[in-house]
Structure 1
């Protein structure tokens, strides 16, 4: 039995305990704390369809300015480049995946690392020992894949989870996710030779995982000859490594899809049209969406006249059989290197209140196509418009090209010259004097053609992300023009001699055709940085409202000139490579620009909310996950040899204090 004083003390104690509990509960809610369970990022684009959307919102518009480095991991990659030319071509473009509390990613030389998602401590590493002195067009790897896919119920993990990496030297390798050791029962001691029967191909993007299938494309150099390696897409059994099917974008025999759209004696011996970018999957519909590219060579199609289906197309293939379900061509008879570089984005399109399974396609021309996922039919109007004719003997440019009519056109759609000063504009004017330009899709020519948009975008391999809450499709774009000139092979020496601009330009021999290709870009490099010779902004971040069919906002992305001399360059934007990620916290995270910063923008307005300098160039796409109740944002910072950004070997994680 309690006395009155004891009862009073007990009551007061319980009241204080209740008040403290209430305060703690309110504080927990106010800071947006989340349950302690982990939220993963299990594929390159988070989901198999590449939406790059995260439901996490612990980091939001109100607190993103507090982001700080949580940990930094170094791969030691630069040591491998010594004594080789790798530094000139290497680019750390990987987006890690996060599964079971572990980050998995690949380096430019196809090494694979597993590190603790909370601490950044190494768990294991695997080195496929790629020989860097071989002829490699690119030295990069955009990531790895895990099998079974975490959201695909058709596959079983009874045999243990596997990490798949496709390498620069054309191997598909299966590793035990827990140890990093090769799965010896897969292929030959854990590896399948992708070069067998195809030649000198590489792979620079993560394979697609659907059911028990691993679907892989290929990468190869451009413009070397017309009958380049075949751009075959193949599917392998995830357990045994056995080949299940292969599909060639270029029809080789009568009856193949699009056979009659390739004209000429040599047309069916054309190479490439390969899928070097990221393949998307729809496990529910048993479909993979293949982004194909320009046939070889990129800038002369006289050996492959006609429309050229299924090159420069999005092709839906039945994953279980390898049969083509539908195809949609974004460029007819491609003469501009307008590869489908961006991952096809699988999402649900809302049209007149109805939910429709869709695929969004963003192109180097800055065109956005919204296609029905099951049929490939455009869900928004597309016009076939007349485009300029070719003046090159032996070439016949396609008479029309597809133009979306209700969505905004992105990137450099109207060409004019520009300079920081009138004198520099005069230099740009002089440079284009005598060149051909008649708007988009002006074909290459003997006198030289201005190509706008250029072959680096519009929308490039960094791709797009989609916010299902607001209906915004968000992407970063480039605005840079190129100059393409075809030189008759028999007159090549005379054309080049004493022509300094031609000597500096990139050369494509295009063997087997009458012409050699020369390519350069409308910019100049000086002590103040890179200056485009077309009006700024030169790189932007864009949000398109797909429901309204309008531009929601567009802002400059980064800078690439010395701000001490040109403070206005912050409004001029930057050439950029690498994509963006959007979160339910109302944020868009993106690096990509040449100035070496990771940034966070307001999803609804495009306003810049936070930026942080990276230890090396950030030409990669960031990702985000939750570990032990804490949200992290992670990016690979390793630079880009061809762009000249600072090289490094960093993976950097940020979180709130």
Structure 2
């Protein structure tokens, strides 16, 4: 009978493999060139997801090899690609590693040997790599298929995708050193954090620049190189500089490519510095914009700005999602752009014009001295915001923390979205890392549903007059930015209570599903618990801030990580949490899924996140359905659920208490026996 069961299982897996399409693989950071994060795999479903088991765990070795103070400056945000029969990803130190997809065994590794003595402004991080095949090269030639990766020390590297060896014909020995175009204050002021993109024989790379350091920060040029030779093809500075004194306007977030149209889509940032723009008058085009360029030439096709004259750090952190949607008036190719404010802009892919009306609405004024704010900001009208955009007294957390939070928020300007930064202190909600972040959105093209993770927390931003900023000592947990060249420095911190809880009521992180055609939120679902943040592993179902994104499948599931150490699966229709898989440390990264030898796997980078205050690790973990005769025990099912660790600690504490009581009882009996002997003698 067991043999028959195994035969049927093999036949089913083979059938699944035969039905798999190009979406069975995960060849791009966002699943496909347009970042839909959708897989047509259907082997894992809501009915059997509870049978997932850990298939393998791979450790990069960084935790043992690197000094603890260096590891405390890492963010493990990588998403592997399945290409050339390997899972290929990058570590926070830009090592590129290829694994066997079925066992997790290392196949090759390339180390660019970046210096850990540098202090990258955005910490040591690498979100992913890019894959490209040279269709002009003969089969079997070296570097016909290539892996491109950017580094924290501003290099663009090309590797043979099969061997990991540098491509000698690209740049100098396989790499191009990128000139930031200005003198850096320190080596880590300028770095590359997101994966490059490719198309039409061109590789395009952005940059990440230190925020709030100075007016004359490095420029934000996006650079393109010949994918074969590494020769420069073009550069594009998003910031139109007529009368503008500012840096930045760069692209640190992931980009997207429409190969058929020959377009690359850039999500651009705010100019530097973030919170005072008196020296950069006007709307600051094309910062804070979705920008479409001709990928072969860098020529501007169109641009759409989502924030005018940004002084809130509301840059575009998410990959533009390219999709074909039913608008109600027929199918249309669009660009879907989620934002930190929790807006969703839907733009025509050829023109950049909004598919549904976007209104210019009046916003709070009276900025800091020397500031000239935009009187209006763009508001989408069809798709509702993915989360609330204003904090009131009713939203403040209850209990012992309430009065302290009310005092903090009451002392700050709080006039809703786009309240300008002030010397009084201003409530920024959604916070500057809130709404949808670099994890981006995901789109199900079959059911026409958009999914995204959102973070719910409050920032307080305070401008500090220049004379007071000299010698200013930032309190613990506060971010200080000198904003050199402006009349104000800045301080930014999370609104938390004396007990360390966020001042706003939970949930603090939610997954959202949106019907774009109807312009309707289908469901919200809290994601994450306090288990790996709170003392004793107490798992409060508050949700956790979610900078990472999701992966969706035709099998009806949405997978995501969180700030606690679990990979989770949700029912795509209802938002109900169906499964949790325990990780070595939190997986603050985008998951991916793939088919390998007839079995569907789900994998996630699980190395923690220093900015989120999690434990730090160095692993990639993959799960698959249990094979016949294989499966988790009842005990492991129990302890691998949120709250399970608390249960273990409670059981251990109970056993220790029982042992202590037993020991006391034995000692008492012995003492009484000795007394009885003494009395009888």
Per the normalisation by structure 1, the TM-score is 0.89
Q: Which position in structure 2 is the counterpart of 1:66? A: 51
Q: Map 1:443-592; keep pairs closer than 5 Å.
A: 443-492=420-469, 505-524=478-497, 526=499, 531-560=501-530, 569-570=540-541, 572-591=542-561
Q: Which position in structure 2 is the counterpart of 1:602? A: 571
Q: Which residue of the other structure, out of 146, 149, 161, is the alignment partner of 1:162? A: 146
Query: Structure 1 residues 68, 565: CA separation in 2 closer, same or farther (over 3 Å shift)?
Result: closer
Q: Which position in structure 2 is the counterpart of 1:233? A: 222
In structure 2, how many angstroms separate the alpha carbons of the residues matched to 1:404 and 1:565? 44
User: CA shift at 1:470, angstroms?
Assistant: 1.1
**Structure 2 counterpart SS, 1:429:** helix
Query: Residues 284-324 of structure 1, C-alpha deviation per residue, up to 9 Å, x if partnerless?
Result: 00000001001000000011011000001010000011100
In structure 2, how many angstroms separate the alpha carbons of the residues matched to 1:578 and 1:68? 23
Q: Which residue of the other structure, out of 70, 92, 100, is the alignment partner of 2:84? A: 100
**Structure 2 counterpart SS, 1:632:** strand
In structure 1, how many angstroms separate the alpha carbons of the residues matched to 2:476 and 2:225? 45
In structure 2, how many angstroms separate the alpha carbons of the residues matched to 1:565 and 1:21? 47
Is contact 1:489–1:515 with CA below 8 Å preserved after alignment? Answer: yes
Query: Structure 1 residues 31, 610: CA separation in 2 closer, same or farther (over 3 Å shift)?
Result: farther
Q: Which residue of the other structure, out of 607, 611, 616, is the alignment partner of 1:647? A: 616
User: CA shift at 1:471, angstroms?
Assistant: 0.8
Q: Which residue of the other structure, out of 138, 143, 157, is the alignment partner of 2:128? A: 143
Q: Which position in structure 1 is the counterpart of 2:598? A: 629
**Structure 2 counterpart SS, 1:461:** coil
In structure 2, how many angstroms separate the alpha carbons of the residues matched to 1:204 and 1:623? 19
Is contact 1:155–1:212 with CA below 8 Å preserved after alignment? Answer: no
5+ residue gaps, structure 1: 1-19, 253-258
Aligned positions, number: 612
Is contact 2:84–2:161 with CA below 8 Å preserved after alignment? Answer: no
Q: Map 1:194-273; keep pairs closer than 5 Å.
A: 194-195=178-179, 197-198=181-182, 199=184, 200-252=189-241, 259=242, 263=243, 267=244, 269-273=245-249
User: CA shift at 1:627, angstroms?
Assistant: 0.8
Q: Which residue of the other structure, out of 307, 314, 321, is the alignment partner of 2:290? A: 314
Query: Structure 1 residues 107, 404: CA separation in 2 closer, same or farther (over 3 Å shift)?
Result: same
User: CA shift at 1:352, angstroms?
Assistant: 2.3
| 2:62 counterpart of 1:77 | yes
User: CA shift at 1:392, angstroms?
Assistant: 1.0
Query: Residues 416-436 of structure 1, C-alpha deviation per residue, up to 9 Å, x if partnerless?
Result: 355654431111011123211
**Structure 2 counterpart SS, 1:460:** coil
Query: Structure 1 residues 130, 568: CA separation in 2 closer, same or farther (over 3 Å shift)?
Result: closer
Q: Map 1:163-182; keep pairs closer than 5 Å.
A: 163-182=147-166
Per the normalisation by structure 2, the TM-score is 0.86
**Structure 2 counterpart SS, 1:427:** helix
Q: Map 1:381-396; keep pairs closer than 5 Å.
A: 381-396=357-372
Query: Residues 123-159 of structure 1, C-alpha deviation per residue, up to 9 Å, x if partnerless?
Result: 110100110111311210001111128xxx7998765
Query: Residues 347-393 of structure 1, C-alpha deviation per residue, up to 9 Å, x if partnerless?
Result: 00112251111000000000000000110000011111000113311
Query: Residues 102-130 of structure 1, C-alpha deviation per residue, up to 9 Å, x if partnerless?
Result: 01100001010011111111111010011
Query: Structure 1 residues 154, 443: CA separation in 2 closer, same or farther (over 3 Å shift)?
Result: farther
Q: Which position in structure 1 is the counterpart of 2:335? A: 359
| 2:359 counterpart of 1:376 | no
In structure 2, how many angstroms separate the alpha carbons of the residues matched to 1:326 and 1:65? 46
User: CA shift at 1:87, angstroms?
Assistant: 2.5
5+ residue gaps, structure 2: 627-681
In structure 2, how many angstroms separate the alpha carbons of the residues matched to 1:349 and 1:154? 34
In structure 2, how many angstroms separate the alpha carbons of the residues matched to 1:604 and 1:297? 42
User: CA shift at 1:411, angstroms?
Assistant: 2.7
| 2:163 counterpart of 1:188 | no
User: CA shift at 1:28, angstroms?
Assistant: 4.6
Q: Which position in structure 2 is the counterpart of 1:302? A: 278
User: CA RMSD, aligned part only?
Assistant: 2.5
